[in-house]
Structure formats: C-alpha cells, structure tokens
Amino acid sequence: MFHQILNPAHNLGLTAIFALIPFVILLGLLAGMRVTAWLSTIIGSIVTLFMAIVVWKLPIVTGLHAYILGSLTGFWFIDWITFWGVMIFNTLMLTGVFDTFKTWLVGQATADVRVQAILLAWSLGALLEGLVGFGYPWAVMAPILVGFGIVEIDAIRVAAIANNAPVSYGALGVPIIALAAVTGLPLMSLSASVGKVVALLALLPPWVLIYLVTGKKGFRDGWPLAVVGSFSYILGQFPVSQWVGPYLPDVTGSLVSFICLLLFLKVWRPRHILGFGGVELDEVAAARNEETHLSTKEIFRSWLPFIVLIIVVVLWTGPWSPLPQISWLLLKVVGISSISHQATSVDFNFAPFVGGTSILASWLIILLLLRPKIRTIGQIFRTSLYQMWGAILVGFFIFGLADVFNFSGMAASLAYTFSRVGPMFILLAPILGWIGVALSGSNTSTNAMFGLMQTLVGKILGFPLLLLPSLNSVGAEVGKPIAPQTASVGVSTCDRQVAVLVSESLTRANFLVQVR
C-alpha cells in the first residue's frame, strides 16, 4: 500500500514549490499563454503525474489507476450534469420557448433602467447561470441590456456583477459537487455551508447594479428594488441549498425573484423613471415597453420546463430519495495519508441515478411536453456536443489531475506548509479560490484543485471541517467576473472595441462589490 511522503525535499519551502509546479504550469497555460482549457489540463496532468512519481514516489501503476478513477468521477458526476443541463437549455432555445420566456420577461420590465438591471441581469442572469454557467449569462444579458440603451462596456459590467452570487451553484450545482468529490465531505453539508455565505453575498449585487446604471441618484426612490431583488433571490436560494441540495438553488432563487419582483411592480413603481446614467425619462419614453401580446398558453408553456426541472430534481435528488445512493460498481485505490496516517483513497462509484440522470429524466419529460421535431432533436444534440466537447474533456482531465495531486500526498505537503501560517490562513483561503478562478475561469476547476488542500489545512489548524473549502468556493465566486475566459464570452456578443477596456473595467467593478 502506498504511503504518502510529507516532506520529500526535506525542506518545507522547497517541497511547497514542487507541489505548486503543476498549478503554476496549468494556470500559466490558461491565463498567460491562452492555451485552450482541455489541452492545458492534459499538459497539467502529465506534469502532475511526473512530479507525483519522481518527487513523491508514487508508483506508476498506482498513479495511473488513481488518474483513471478520478477522470471517470469527473465524467460521471460533473460532465453528466453539465451536458444534460446544456441539452435542456438548447431545447428551450431551438424550440423558441426560451425566446418566448425572454420576450415576456423583457415586456414586464418597465422603461426604468434600474428595473431592467435587476429583473433581467440579476434574476434572469441567475437562471442562466443555474442552468448552464460557462459565461452564458454574460453572452445573453449584455446584448439585451445594450438594447435598452446601456453602453456596451457598462452592460458587460452589469452582467458580470449580477453573475457574482449565483456562480457557486452554477450549471446545476457542479462546483459544489466537484468540491464534495475531491474532499469526501458530505454533499448536503457543503451545499448548506456555502449556501449560508452566498445568501450574505446576495445582499450586495442589486445595490451595486443600481449604482452602475444610475449612480447615487438611483437610490433615492429605487432602493426598494434592491431590497426586494436581493431578499427574493435569497428566499428561493437559501432553503433549497440547506435542505434539498446544490442542484437547484440558482434556478429556484431566480424564479422566486421573478415572481416577487413582478408582484412588487404591480403595486409599486419608482417615483421618477430613470434611464441609463440617471437621466429622467418623459412619459412618452417611459411608455415604450408595450405589451408583448403573448397568450396565457404561450406564457405557461415558457414556464413549464422550469417547473418540470424543479419537480423532477427535487423528488429525485433530495435527502428523501434513495436513488442517488444506489451503486452498481465501486472501484478504489487506497493509500496512507501523511497527515492523518489513516487510509485515504481515490474512488469511482458508478451510481446510475446521480444528479445528472435526474437532469436527463427532466429533459425527456420536457421533450414529451414540447414535442419538437426529430430534426430539431438532432440539432439539439449537435449544438450541445459542439458547445460542450471541450468542457467535457476538461471535466475528465481536471479530476484525474486533482486526484493524483491529492492521492500522491502533494496536497498534504502543501497543506502542511500553509498551516504554518497559523489561524491567519483563514484570510488566505478565499484568496486562493479567487486567484484560481481568476486565472482558470472555472469555479469547478478551482474547487477540484484546491478543495482537499483547504480541507487538510483546516484539519491541521482545528477549524470547523467545512469552513475553508466553503471559503475556497466563495472566493472563486467573487473572482469569477475578472476571469479572462468568462470575460471573453461576454465580449463576444458586443462590439469588438469593448475587448480593450473590459479587463480593467471589470476589475474595478469587482472591487466595488467587495468593498460595498
């Protein structure tokens, strides 16, 4: 049985440098050399295996075994969810259902730019993040906001800041699922722990959005929008994250936010209708949002897929369901930890009814209800595969990389070194997550790379078990708006000249969120 080595270089500083080499190379390829993500993870995997075998003395066969099991876990528990989530989104797009939903929602927004920013960038953006992630909220929301008269660079800033809070539960909870997979911590416990912090962070963005589109003037009679926008999202997000799981907090948060905001706007409107920059609009301009003339049937049909998704996933994956616990195959490779001196392992548990299968079941029911043509279904598959093949490869390879890093003892060595900082490490934990996502563009990858290391540091320092991995995820959430990969998606739907300004602008806007 393989025994991890805590300090293979016989010098903690040098050992830590060796342990950081795979991350430096991986993040350097992604952020510095702009190498595509799937190729970067393959190169990073080779480097990680080399360091594990040469420095940490991991047997070659054992290392390859751990890598394969980790990669299978990445595919089955991560890719299986994200692919079917994108399939649902593309089904809604190619059947016109999402356009109907978007048209109806845009029609509910008044001419007031504050309403547009919160109802669309905040609430609709959270829905897109919850279903798909991968920068979709930016790509979809920025052009809509530009259409309402917001300058392109500011439209991207608004879409970016609105996307802050939903990131931890993006793509149907994949970042939390990844964190549970690499740390071995209970999925429900991690979901609840991160959900508490996200609920606090969700109090801030609506206020910042109002400031971004109208300045301080927008707070005079628009502050109730920020209050309702933040608390309504939390009302839908928090209970689900605590008692149902990580799959739906963004989806339920966004839908509850829609309902509460629309009901609130039936009984309250800002005294002054403001356009972008805080300019007051006259009655003619304020009346520009005409009724969309959608029938009740069309509106219900546009809501139906989301209702189906929520019902199926809640019944399927909640703590009351036995389905996720069913296992058909369990493979593992076992070693001895250099910190606890107890058994540690890399597992692949083929549980056929995991969360991704519940998303597949939801998609099949949505197909039965929407009844698209066979040709359209083929197009949905082709579009989804074209969009997702690179992300699927990343999910496969990044988990192989992470599990070799963890199993070889590299994570333990790095954790032991970081623990020498003492209790002050609690300030560094979210910064590591922030740096990881700012360079890699992925909360999921950041949790996979740093999750176990954060957990081990917490154990050594005697912190609550869930604290540091939760802070890693939340730090990644805050750093997402300045990730170059995500920014490029938002820029892709706007004028090319915006690309020159977007990085600097997003950094300032992201700092504003943290300060406020």
Transcribe 363-432 into DSSP letters: HHHHHHHH---HHHHHHHHHHHHHHHHHHHHHHHHHHHHHHHHHHTTHHHHHHHHHHTTGGGHHHHHHHH
pTM of the model: 0.85
Output the pLDDT for position 515: 34
- pLDDT, average across residues 331-358: 92
| 28 against 17, higher pLDDT | 17
Chain segment 438-452, per-residue pLDDT in tens: 666 678 888 888 999
| 269 against 68, higher pLDDT | 68
Residues in the chain: 516
Under the banding of pLDDT at 50, 70 and 90, the label for residue 149 is: confident
Residue 267 neighbours by CB distance under 10 Å: 6
Tokens of 248: 């739906």
- pLDDT, average across residues 222-235: 95
Chain segment 162-190, per-residue pLDDT in tens: 888 888 898 889 999 999 999 999 999 99
Average pLDDT, the chain: 86
Answer whether residue 453 shows pLDDT above 70.
yes
Q: Report CA-CA distances (Å) from 378 to 93, 433, 441.
A: 14, 39, 30
Output the pLDDT for position 483: 62
Under the banding of pLDDT at 50, 70 and 90, the label for residue 510 is: very low
Beta bridge partners of 333: 346
CB 224 within 8 A of CB 261: no
Which DSSP category does 74 fall into?
Answer: I
Under the banding of pLDDT at 50, 70 and 90, the label for residue 161 is: confident
Beta strand pairing call for 329-336 and 343-350: antiparallel
Chain segment 258-278, per-residue pLDDT in tens: 999 999 998 988 888 888 888
Residue 253 neighbours by CB distance under 10 Å: 31
Beta bridge partners of 2: 335
- pLDDT, average across residues 212-230: 93
Beta strand pairing call for 329-336 and 2-3: parallel
- Burial code (b: 16+ CB inside 10 Å, e: under 16) for 401-431 equals bbbbbbbbbbbbbbbbbbbeeeeebbebbbe
Beta bridge partners of 343: 336
Under the banding of pLDDT at 50, 70 and 90, the label for residue 498 is: very low
All residues at 6 or more sequence positions from 51 whose CB lies less than 8 Å from its CB, including other chains: 18, 19, 21, 22, 408, 410
- pLDDT, average across residues 339-351: 91
Output the pLDDT for position 490: 52
Output the pLDDT for position 506: 42
d(CA 154, CA 421): 40
Q: Report CA-CA distances (Å) from 7 to 93, 201, 285, 411.
A: 53, 38, 69, 11
All residues at 6 or more sequence positions from 4 whose CB lies less than 8 Å from its CB, including other chains: 56, 335, 336, 337, 338, 344, 408, 409, 412
d(CA 361, CA 60): 40
Of 112-121, 285-294, 331-340, the least confident: 285-294
Answer whether residue 502 shows pLDDT above 50.
no
Task: Tell me which H or E stretch contains 336.
Answer: strand 329-336
d(CA 248, CA 395): 20
CB 202 within 8 A of CB 230: yes
Output the pLDDT for position 319: 84
Under the banding of pLDDT at 50, 70 and 90, the label for residue 54 is: very high
What percentage of residues in the chain have a pLDDT greater than 90? 58
Answer whether residue 57 shows pLDDT above 60.
yes
Torsion of CA 168, 169, 172, 178, to 10 degrees: 50
Output the pLDDT for position 496: 45
- Burial code (b: 16+ CB inside 10 Å, e: under 16) for 278-287 equals beebeeeebe
- pLDDT, average across residues 467-481: 86
Residue 224 neighbours by CB distance under 10 Å: 11
Start-to-end Cα distance in the chain:
51
- pLDDT, average across residues 365-389: 94
Output the pLDDT for position 449: 85
Of 123-132, 136-145, 216-225, 486-495, the least confident: 486-495
Q: Measuring CA to CA, which residue among 113, 110, 109 is closest to residue 280?
A: 113
All residues at 6 or more sequence positions from 165 whose CB lies less than 8 Å from its CB, including other chains: 126, 198, 201, 202, 204, 205, 233, 477
- pLDDT, average across residues 277-296: 67
d(CA 116, CA 123): 10
For residue 480, how many C-alpha atoms fall within 13 Å in the half-sphere facing its CB?
A: 34
Output the pLDDT for position 364: 96
Chain segment 78-98, per-residue pLDDT in tens: 899 989 999 998 999 999 998
Task: Tell me which H or E stretch contains 333.
Answer: strand 329-336
Output the pLDDT for position 155: 84
Answer whether residue 327 shows pLDDT above 70.
yes
- pLDDT, average across residues 12-41: 88
374-381 long-range contacts, CB within 8 A, separation 24+:
376/94, 376/95, 379/94, 380/87, 380/90, 380/91, 380/94, 381/87
- pLDDT, average across residues 231-240: 96
Q: Which amino acid is at 465?
A: L
Answer whether residue 290 shows pLDDT above 80.
no
Answer whether residue 384 shows pLDDT above 50.
yes
All residues at 6 or more sequence positions from 314 whose CB lies less than 8 Å from its CB, including other chains: 244, 248
Output the pLDDT for position 142: 78
Which three-class secondary structure string do you get for 264-283? HHHHCCCCCCECHHHCECCH
Beta bridge partners of 329: 350
